[in-house]
């Protein structure tokens, strides 16, 4: 019997994880709990940058500044086994007018409470939160719960 494309992809991910000596941090249950809580409990779904195991670059490539768009957390539900990390901005820029600076909406306190309540391991770097699907030994040691 031939392997289906999804099985072949999972096998490639497993091989890459083993080759790079990465440690699994998250699982399907944790990703699903996080996604559900975001949509049910937070004022908005925070934007994120994602890096997948088999991809060289994260998406979106540029993610240094706060953004005007929401995160598509449902997209992680089918690809959770492939997520190396996500970088989350628990802030949202809100247009206020053509000639005025945008407002920054923040859900940072609620975000941290949610992560801690669900025991989602994370690292805060500057103003962003990193959630690892797989981590190096060094990254794993830095995780908070």
Residue 145 to residue 142: CA distance in whole angstroms: 10
Residue 141 to residue 95: CA distance in whole angstroms: 39
Q: Rounded to two decimals, what is the model's pTM? A: 0.91
Residue whose token pair is 């941290």: 112
* pLDDT for 2: 63
Residue whose token pair is 């670059």: 57
Residue 1 has pLDDT above 60, yes or no: no
Q: What confidence tens digit (pLDDT) does each residue in 92-126 have?
A: 999 988 899 899 999 999 999 999 999 999 999 99
Q: What confidence tens digit (pLDDT) does each residue in 24-78 have?
A: 999 999 999 999 999 999 999 999 999 999 999 999 999 999 999 999 999 887 7
């Amino acid at each position: 019997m031939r392997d289906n494309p999804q099985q072949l992809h999972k096998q490639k991910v497993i091989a890459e994880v083993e080759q790079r000596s990465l440690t699994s941090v998250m699982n399907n249950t944790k990703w699903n709990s996080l996604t559900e809580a975001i949509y049910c409990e937070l004022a908005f779904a925070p934007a994120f940058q994602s890096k997948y195991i088999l991809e060289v670059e994260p998406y979106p490539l540029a993610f240094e500044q706060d953004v005007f768009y929401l995160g598509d957390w449902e997209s992680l539900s089918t690809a959770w086994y492939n997520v190396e990390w996500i970088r989350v901005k628990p802030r949202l820029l809100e247009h206020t007018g053509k000639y005025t600076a945008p407002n920054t909406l923040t859900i940072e306190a609620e975000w941290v409470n949610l992560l801690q309540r669900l025991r989602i391991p994370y690292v805060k770097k500057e103003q962003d939160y990193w959630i690892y699907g797989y981590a190096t030994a060094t990254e794993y040691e830095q995780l908070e719960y």
